[in-house]
Amino acid sequence: MLSNLAARDVETLIHPYTNLETFRETGPLVIERGHGVWVYDSDGRPYLEGMAGLWCTALGYSNEELVEAASEQMARLPFTHLFSGRSHDPAIELAEILKELMPVPTSKIFFTSSGSEANDTQVKLTWYMNNALGRPRKKKILSHIKGYHGVTVATASMTGLPANHADWDLPLPGFLHVGCPHHYRFAEAGESEDAFTTRLAAELEALILREGPETVAAFVAEPVLGAGGAILPPAGYYAKIQAVLDRHDVRFIADEVICGFGRLGTWFGSEAMGMAPDSLSFAKALTSGYLPLGGISVDEPLYRLMVQQSAKLGTFGHGTTYSGHPVACAVALKTIAIYKRDRIIEGVAEKAPQFQARLSALADHPLVGEARGIGLIGGIELVADKASRRQYEPKAGVAARVVAFAQAEGLIVRFLAGDRVAVCPPLVIAPSEIDTLFDRLGRALDRTEAWIAEQGLQAAPAQR
């Protein structure tokens, strides 16, 4: 029997990425408040937030300095916009700081309200750029199978997950997907990580040549594939990909929406993964998730073309009402100040060995085929048979069961496609809380193992 609040939710809200049929029976987990790495439901029960909300609440919950920054800006200037040459101090100062932080040559910053908007803007600007350069055919966008880049029509087309395409009439023409850099799941028998990455780079080049380099505009990639499974590409993968892109004049765009602002122990994931992109998309941890804010870096050659086209067309015809919202910018400024003052990024690098050791130890569990990550992010893949790497039938919902048992243990984690479970706590998590997180996740795996035995679940048939 659902509580009154839960019943009201079921009758009023549409929940993203939720089975809307089963949800009518289960109802929501209603979160009422949060503090640090802990959140509390409407019954007052605490949960360790092992996903930092949606990969974003880097400084944890109820940070008083962020609340104060928002309140002060609300009192001073709650809203204005950047249209038609108008501006405000928080946007100017934030853009200046972001230019200094960017690991790529950056001339300007363009603000959005989300990662989806940021990546959608990247597509539009890539097309805009090639039109300005007299290359109207160079428009195709490449991204990874299992990559995740958003839910607009363009960014969902870039996303390489079946649920984002089925019955949505996506992907649009001109959006192509290349092999997922997940050695554990997609390497051939006996193939080393080096040989695997060499093969993927060769397959990328073959695709570009087949389509025609004059038609391929950009390659968009996450440093670590987030919603596709918290997948860590092998060492050296992006260097090989970069060489292919450079040979064929394909713009390289890093989707830093999850990895940006410290998650991997560096300011940006591109630095940790050896990427040298032309532009970055960012969002989420820019404000510690407290307010919606994203954006992209704009290099000088692109900016000059934007100025040229603006003169030609009479305006730069792109932007949204809340791009560079003053309250969101004020919170972002305070967030970055805290990252610097409290050495948050350095702290991630210091805590990462403990986090990764506890994560790696889960590979010894009978249900876990792979447990791998970097910094304070990781993913585990559940299997029915370690030797063959065969999984359970998707309809069995084994990963969902792990997440449900974790919630019963007072831990929030997330299941993803391919029977994977992601862990991505706030960056301010303490060493003792890291142990609490993995103790509870281990018990959830044990409970899932017992449930599988009770249900008599078997491995899915081997694929032919």
Q: Where are the domains of the chain?
A: 4-62+343-455, 66-341
Does residue 86 have a pLDDT over 70?
Answer: yes
Which whole number is the average pLDDT over 409-422? 96
Does residue 296 have a pLDDT over 60?
Answer: yes
**Of 178, 180, 191, 276, which is closest to residue 233 (Cα–Cα)?**
180
Does residue 464 have a pLDDT over 50?
Answer: no
- Per-residue pLDDT band for 152 (boundaries 50, 70, 90) equals very high
Does residue 348 have a pLDDT over 90?
Answer: yes
Q: What is the mean pLDDT of the chain?
A: 97
Q: Is 309 left (phi over 0), alpha (psi -120 to 50) or beta?
A: alpha
3-state secondary structure string, the chain? CCCHHHHHHHHHCCCCCCCHHHHHHHCCCCEEEEEECEEEECCCCEEEECCHHHHCCCCCECCHHHHHHHHHHHHHCCCCCCHHHCCCHHHHHHHHHHHHHCCCCCCEEEEECCHHHHHHHHHHHHHHHHHHCCCCCCCEEEEECCCCCCCCHHHHHHCCCHHHCCCCCCCCCCEEEECCCCHHHHCCCCCCHHHHHHHHHHHHHHHHHHHCHHHEEEEEECCCECCCCCECCCCCHHHHHHHHHHHCCCEEEEECCCCCCCCCCCCCHHHHHCCCCCEEEECHHHHCCCCCCEEEEECHHHHHHHHHHHHHHCCCCCCCCCCCCHHHHHHHHHHHHHHHHCCHHHHHHHHHHHHHHHHHHHHHCCCEEEEEEECCEEEEEECCECCCCECECHHHCHHHHHHHHHHHCCEECEEECCCEEEECCCCCCCHHHHHHHHHHHHHHHHHHHHHHHHHCCCECCCCC
Does residue 394 have a pLDDT over 70?
Answer: yes
**Of 334, 370, 449, 359, which is closest to residue 413 (Cα–Cα)?**
359
Which whole number is the average pLDDT over 161-175? 97
Which residues, at least 6 apart from 53, have a Cβ–Cβ distance to it below 8 Å? 289
Does residue 459 have a pLDDT over 90?
Answer: no
Does residue 2 have a pLDDT over 90?
Answer: no
Report phi then psi at 61, rounded to 5.
Answer: -100, 150
pLDDT tens for residues 38-49? 999 999 999 999
Which residues, at least 6 apart from 28, have a Cβ–Cβ distance to it below 8 Å? 6, 9, 10, 13, 15
Q: Which pLDDT does position 196 carry in this prediction?
A: 98
4-62+343-455 and 66-341, same CATH topology: no
> What are the structure tokens assigned to 152, written together?
């607009």
Which residues, at least 6 apart from 22, have a Cβ–Cβ distance to it below 8 Å? none
Enumerate the β-bridge partners of residue 280.
254
Q: Is the peptide bond before 171 cis (omega within 30 degrees of 0)?
A: yes
Which whole number is the average pLDDT over 372-393? 97
Q: Which pLDDT does position 463 carry in this prediction?
A: 58
Describe the crossing of helices 344-361 and 431-455 by its angle, rounded to 10 degrees: 30
Does residue 431 have a pLDDT over 70?
Answer: yes
Q: Which pLDDT does position 225 carry in this prediction?
A: 98
Does residue 135 have a pLDDT over 70?
Answer: yes
Does residue 198 have a pLDDT over 80?
Answer: yes
Which whole number is the average pLDDT over 146-161? 98
Does residue 6 have a pLDDT over 70?
Answer: yes
Does residue 361 have a pLDDT over 50?
Answer: yes
Torsion angle in degrees (nearest 10) through CA of 309, 312, 314, 320 = -20
- Per-residue pLDDT band for 33 (boundaries 50, 70, 90) equals very high
Does residue 211 have a pLDDT over 70?
Answer: yes
Q: Domain 66-341 carries which CATH code? A: 3.40.640.10
Which whole number is the average pLDDT over 178-195? 98
- CA–CA distance, 337 with 350 (Å, rounded to integer): 20
Does residue 1 have a pLDDT over 90?
Answer: no
> What are the structure tokens assigned to 56, written together?
């974003």
Q: Domain 4-62+343-455 carries which CATH code? A: 3.90.1150.10
Buried-state track 128-154, b at ≥16 Cβ within 10 A, e below 16? bbbeeeeeeebbbbbbbbbbbbbbbeb
Does residue 158 have a pLDDT over 60?
Answer: yes
**Of 412, 401, 55, 34, which is closest to residue 257 (Cα–Cα)?**
55
- Per-residue pLDDT band for 3 (boundaries 50, 70, 90) equals confident
